[in-house]
C-alpha cells in the first residue's frame, strides 16, 4: 500500500533525507488528508501564519474530534502547568517577559556573551576527554553532554549535582525518541519517574535559591518582582523544565547536524579551520539547510483562515513545516545547496513571531563555539557511517549517533 505524504513525514525510514517529501508537499502548499492536520509547506505562508494572531499554541483551543498525531501522549504529560511555549497572549507574553528579564535585552543584554569563556572551557574539556580518535561517537562524547552542562550552569545547578541532571535528561530524551524494540510501558514508567525526580529536585533548588540567592538565572527568577508580578513555584518549575528540554534537544541536533554537514562539505570545513569567524554564517546557513526543528505541530486555528485559496476551519490542527519552507525555491536560490556565503539567510530554523526560539542567542553561540573548535582540533576528521542512524522523532531531527574518526586531536 502506498503511504500518504503525512505518513511519509512520520516514517522513520525517511528521517535520513526527508527533503524529497517536502518538495512533493510544496506542490500543494496546503496539504490535508482525512482526519489529519493541515500541513503548510511553503516559506511565505509559514512565515505569515507564525505572525498571525488567529493561530494558537494552546492545545485547549483544539476543536473536539480533531487530533494531532504529534501531540504529547497523556502518559508523557506532566503535572506542571504548560510552559509559555504552549500558551497564547496574554499569559504567554507575561511569562516570556519575566523569563527574558534575566536572559537577554533590555534588562540582561550581556548574559549570553558573558558565558562565552565558560562555554569555551566546557567545549575544550569535552574534546580533551574524547577517547579513541579512530572511533568517536560525536553525539555521546560531545554534542549531547555539552548543552545539558550549559543549562545546568545557566540555572545554577551545583557542579556536584550535574551528573544527576544528565541522567534525567538522558531518560527524558529517550522518551522523545522511543526505541520500537524497547518495552513501551517500562520506558513510560522511567520517563514519569525522571520527571518526578527532576521536579522534586528543582523545587528544592528553588527553595534554596530563595533563601540564599546567587547570580544564576534560577535565583533571579525566584527573587524578582516586576510589573508582571512574581513567578509562582509551579511557574518556575515549568519554566526551568522548558529551558532544560527545549534548550537541550534542539542544540544537540544543531551541533550534530552541523558537523555532519561540514564533513559532507570538506571545502567549508577547511575554511572554518583557518577562518573561525566563518562559524557565524555557517550556523545561520545550517539553521536553514538542516534545521534541528523540522516542523511545528500543535498549532490550532482560532477562526476560519484562508491560505492559498484553501479555507482552514476554526479549531483545526496545523503543522508548519519549517524545514520545507527553508528549502522553498520561491524564497531561496538553489535551496538544496549548502552555502555559508549566501547573502540572504532569513531562515525559519528558529521560528518567527511571538514564539520565536527563546534560547536562540545561546543556541547560536554554543553551535558556533562547538563547530569552530571541532574544526580546529580534530585532525583529518571523516565519517564512518553515512548516512548515520537517525533519531525516531519527526519534529526534532538529528542523528542518534555520529560516528567519526580522525588522525589525532590537536591541543
pLDDT, tens digit, 9 for 90 and up, residues 99-144: 888 888 888 888 899 999 999 999 999 999 998 999 999 999 999 9
pLDDT per position as a tens digit, 231-268: 888 888 888 888 887 778 899 999 999 999 999 999 99
Q: What are the grid coordinates assigned to 211, written together? A: 533563601
Q: What are the grid coordinates assigned to 60, written together? A: 485547549
Note whether 296 and 16 are within 8 A (CB).
Answer: no
How many CB atoms are located within 10 Å of the residue 303 CB?
A: 12
Quickly state the pLDDT bin for 174 (edges 50, 70, 90): low
Quickly state the pLDDT bin for 296 (edges 50, 70, 90): very high
386: left (phi over 0), alpha (psi -120 to 50) or beta: beta
Alpha carbon 147 to its chain's center: 11
DSSP letter, residue 300: E
Cα separation, 229 vs 231, whole angstroms: 7
Write down the pLDDT at residue 70: 75
Cα separation, 347 vs 22, whole angstroms: 16
Nearest of 387, 405, 358, 402 to residue 112 by alpha carbon:
358
Give the CA radius of gyration of the chain.
21
**Ranges of H-type helices in 212-265:** 217-223, 233-264
Q: Where do we find the cell 580534530? A: 378
In the predicted model, is pLDDT for residue 73 greater than 70?
A: no
pLDDT per position as a tens digit, 32-49: 988 889 999 999 999 999
pLDDT per position as a tens digit, 335-375: 999 999 999 899 999 999 999 998 999 999 999 999 999 99
Q: What are the grid coordinates assigned to 192, written together? A: 514519569
What's the whole-number average pLDDT of the chain? Answer: 89
In the predicted model, is pLDDT for residue 324 greater than 80?
A: yes
Write down the pLDDT at residue 17: 94
Between residues 167 and 260, which one has the greater pLDDT?
A: 260
Cα separation, 128 vs 378, whole angstroms: 11
How many CB atoms are located within 10 Å of the residue 404 CB?
A: 23
Mean pLDDT of 287-305: 94
Cα separation, 189 vs 75, whole angstroms: 9
Note whether 33 and 308 are within 8 A (CB).
Answer: no
Note whether 185 and 264 are within 8 A (CB).
Answer: no
Note whether 62 and 315 are within 8 A (CB).
Answer: yes
Quickly state the pLDDT bin for 2 (edges 50, 70, 90): low
Percent of the chain with pLDDT strictly greater than 90: 57
Q: What are the grid coordinates assigned to 317, written together? A: 490542527
* Residue 66 to residues 71, 318, 369, Cα–Cα distance (Å): 11, 11, 43
Mean pLDDT of 171-183: 62
Cα separation, 351 vs 322, whole angstroms: 8
SS3 54: coil
Cα separation, 285 vs 258, whole angstroms: 10
Q: What are the grid coordinates assigned to 175, written together? A: 522518551
Q: What are the grid coordinates assigned to 25, written together? A: 508537499
In order, the DSSP letters of 323-361 are: HHHTT-TTTSSSTTS--TT-S----STT--GGGS-TTHH
Note whether 220 and 213 are within 8 A (CB).
Answer: yes
In order, the DSSP letters of 147-191 are: HHHHHHHHHT--GGGHHHHHHHHHHHHHHHS--TTS-HHHHHHHH
- What angle in degrees, to the nearest 10, is found between the helix axes of 360-377 and 279-289? 110
In the predicted model, is pLDDT for residue 187 greater than 80?
A: no
What pTM was estimated for this model as a whole?
0.92
Cα separation, 387 vs 179, whole angstroms: 19
Note whether 104 and 371 are within 8 A (CB).
Answer: no
Q: What are the grid coordinates assigned to 178, written together? A: 522511543
Amino acid at each position: 500500500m502506498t503511504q500518504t505524504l503525512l505518513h511519509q513525514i512520520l516514517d522513520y525510514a525517511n528521517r535520513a533525507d526527508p527533503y524529497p517529501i517536502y518538495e512533493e508537499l510544496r506542490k500543494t502548499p496546503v496539504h490535508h488528508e482525512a482526519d489529519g492536520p493541515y500541513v503548510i509547506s511553503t516559506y511565505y505562508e509559514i512565515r505569515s501564519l507564525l505572525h498571525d494572531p488567529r493561530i494558537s499554541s494552546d492545545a485547549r483551543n483544539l476543536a473536539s474530534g480533531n487530533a494531532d498525531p504529534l501531540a504529547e501522549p497523556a502518559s508523557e504529560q506532566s503535572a506542571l502547568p504548560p510552559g509559555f511555549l504552549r500558551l497564547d497572549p496574554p499569559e504567554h507574553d507575561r511569562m516570556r517577559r519575566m523569563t527574558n528579564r534575566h536572559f537577554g535585552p533590555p534588562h540582561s543584554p550581556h548574559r549570553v556573551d558573558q558565558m562565552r569563556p565558560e562555554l569555551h572551557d566546557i567545549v575544550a574539556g569535552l574534546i580533551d576527554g574524547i577517547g579513541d580518535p579512530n572511533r568517536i561517537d560525536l553525539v555521546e562524547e560531545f554534542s549531547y553532554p555539552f548543552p545539558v552542562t550549559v543549562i545546568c550552569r545557566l540555572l545554577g545547578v551545583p557542579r556536584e549535582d550535574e551528573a544527576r541532571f544528565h541522567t534525567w535528561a538522558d531518560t527524558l530524551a529517550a522518551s522523545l525518541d522511543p526505541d520500537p524494540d524497547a518495552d513501551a510501558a517500562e520506558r513510560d514508567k522511567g520517563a514519569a519517574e525522571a520527571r518526578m525526580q527532576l521536579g522534586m529536585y528543582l523545587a528544592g533548588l528553588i527553595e534554596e535559591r530563595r533563601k540564599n540567592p546567587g547570580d544564576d538565572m534560577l535565583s533571579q527568577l525566584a527573587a524578582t518582582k516586576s510589573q508582571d508580578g512574581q513567578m509562582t513555584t509551579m511557574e518556575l518549575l515549568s519554566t526551568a523544565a522548558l529551558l532544560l528540554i527545549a534548550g537541550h534537544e534542539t542544540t544537540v541536533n544543531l551541533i550534530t547536524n552541523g558537523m555532519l554537514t561540514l564533513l559532507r562539505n570538506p571545502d567549508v570545513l577547511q575554511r572554518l579551520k583557518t577562518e573561525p569567524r566563518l562559524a557565524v554564517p555557517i550556523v545561520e546557513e545550517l539553521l536553514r539547510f538542516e534545521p534541528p526543528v523540522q516542523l511545528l505541530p500543535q498549532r490550532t486555528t482560532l477562526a476560519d483562515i484562508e491560505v492559498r485559496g484553501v479555507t482552514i476551519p476554526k479549531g483545526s490542527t496545523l503543522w508548519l513545516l519549517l524545514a520545507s519552507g527553508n528549502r522553498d525555491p520561491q524564497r531561496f536560490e538553489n535551496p538544496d545547496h549548502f552555502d555559508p556565503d549566501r547573502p540572504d539567510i532569513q531562515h525559519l530554523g528558529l521560528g518567527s513571531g511571538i514564539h520565536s526560539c527563546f534560547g536562540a542567542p545561546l543556541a547560536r553561540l554554543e553551535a558556533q563555539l562547538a563547530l569552530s573548535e571541532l574544526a580546529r582540533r580534530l585532525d583529518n576528521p571523516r565519517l564512518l557511517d553515512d548516512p548515520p542512524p537517525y533519531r525516531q522523532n519527526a519534529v526534532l531531527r538529528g542523528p542518534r549517533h555520529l560516528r567519526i574518526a580522525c588522525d589525532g586531536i590537536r591541543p
